[in-house]
Amino acid sequence: MFPEDDGYHIRWFTPSVEVNLCGHATLATSHVLYNHLDYSGKMIRFHSRSGDLSVRREGDYYLLDFPSDKPETVEKDEFLLKAFDRNPVEVLKGKADFLVVFDDEHYVREVVPDMDMIKKLDAEGVIITSRSEGEFDFVSRFFAPRLGIPEDPVTGSAHTVLIPYWSDRIGKDTLAARQVSNRGGVLKCRYPGDRVEIGGRACTYLEGIIYL
């Protein structure tokens, strides 16, 4: 990240590649700007490979304004079917990721997918999801072994696909979500149309100095 025009230029890297969009890193960057670098504006603007993004604070949440990635229904890929031991209800695809829908929250929480099969897919990653049986509207997990991320704990980019999908299915433009990985998290979601708003919390756990 570095200052640019009326905001900051931001880039994101996994252990192996540069990616087009990353929610938790944008949230963390905003937290550092607000809490450690004395940023005082009402909104932070970021310029990125995915266009202009913005973040604002609302209580203890950071609200990320990202482009929507509404998925389209596709045929069930043979490698995708082999990656899971249960037939999905529906398979869709956004710009980069498959969205695989199941009808069982417990299955989404507990399944151990075949990473070798996921690596063979023509996609950056695979999102799996279902309606929630509890206090949330939906749950999800995200796998991207081709990017060096077997499973991501909480994934903002995946929710640019999930929010328009579940908003259409449930008939709500404000949604509560939980990513149910081992290090999962809660997200406040809103779907105004061509954009999505993703809200999450952040806290400082480590400070240090790197000498180059």
In 10-104, which ranges are continuous DSSP H helix? 23-36, 78-83
Exposed e or buried b per residue across 49-80, where buried means at least 16 C-beta atoms within 10 angstroms of its C-beta = ebeebbbbbeeebbbbbbebbbbeeeeebebb
Residue 193's pLDDT is: 82
What average pLDDT does the segment 60-89 reach?
A: 96
* Confidence bin at 179 (pLDDT 50/70/90): very high
What average pLDDT does the segment 86-93 reach?
A: 97
End-to-end CA distance of the chain: 17
Over residues 147-163, the pLDDT tens digits come to: 999 999 999 999 999 99
3-state helix, strand, coil in the chain (%, to 5): 25, 35, 40
* Confidence bin at 25 (pLDDT 50/70/90): very high
Residue 13's pLDDT is: 95
Position 106 pLDDT exceeds 90: yes
Position 66 pLDDT exceeds 90: yes
* Confidence bin at 174 (pLDDT 50/70/90): very high
What average pLDDT does the segment 75-83 reach?
A: 94
In 22-155, which ranges are continuous DSSP H helix? 23-36, 78-83, 105-110, 115-119
Averaged pLDDT score across all residues of the chain: 96
Position 62 pLDDT exceeds 90: yes
